[in-house]
Amino acid sequence: MQCIERIADLRRAVKAARREGRKIGLVPTMGALHCGHAALIAQAAKDGCFTIVSIFVNPAQFAPNEDLDRYPRTLKRDLQVAAEVGADLVFAPAAAEIYPAGFNTWVEVEGSLANCLCGASRPGHFRGVATVVLKLFNMTDPDQAYFGEKDYQQLQVIRRFAQDLDLPLKILSVPIVREADGLAMSSRNKYLSPEERSVAPWLYKALRAAAEAAASGEEDIQAIRRYALDRIASQPALQLEYLEIADGDSLQLLHELRPGAVMLVAARLGNTRLIDNIRLI
């Protein structure tokens, strides 16, 4: 497995893979790889792709008061994980390689898709995400790009700009990978203290309670939300940011339950922000 830091070298590697008749699969990450990332990489490899994993802690998607400086950086271990599950190449650039001096062009998805939910509390976040992902697409010219469903709003934002800009690739998603107690795997879980870690699974318990209510025939949106809200409220350490039921494609908030509905939640636990989601029907 190659590890490359420069865009020019990355493009040469992609061209070489194309000459060999390989299709290109891209797995964008910010590193601190866990089993969720491994599932993405393994899927790309299983699909027969020349599998590229990008590892880049993207400063453009962090607000000034967020955790850019302390975000876990574990490149040596990440390279081992990527190699073990079938990556062919890791692209691990410095920030100056992605955003050279004078950089001043941004990709922005407008409307409620990017401005609701996480976008409401993290202004500019999805602009940073969309910009770096489009740059990675331009650098690697992938046939397929793989994203996890835990970052559900991010997935829908990327699908939208790929469609709107007529990008010639498939955006593929892989289901959330969870710990044994249900906690969605995330690089930020490393921040949790032992006490916080014991509380964190309640977020998924809340989502499960809502999904079970919907599966049992409950159709009232507010009643379904209450099943989840009551369980979150039972854990005072969980400071709820939002809990909403939305259309799975547009993320428009729903007033009545319909096929494709997704419940999405964000909460803070100490200094850690957790997000999760579950499909209701």
* Phi then psi dihedrals of residue 2, to 5 deg: -85, 150
According to DSSP, the β-strands at 238-247 and 261-269 are antiparallel
Tell me which of 34, 37, 125, 255 is the catalytic residue: 37
Edge to edge, the sheet with strand 238-247 lists 238-247, 261-269, 272-279
37 part of the active site: yes
Listed residue (95, 32, 38, 34) closest to 61, CA to CA: 95
Q: Please state, in angstroms and rounded to a whole number, the distance separating the CA atoms of residues 258 and 110.
A: 25
Q: Which residues are catalytic?
A: 37
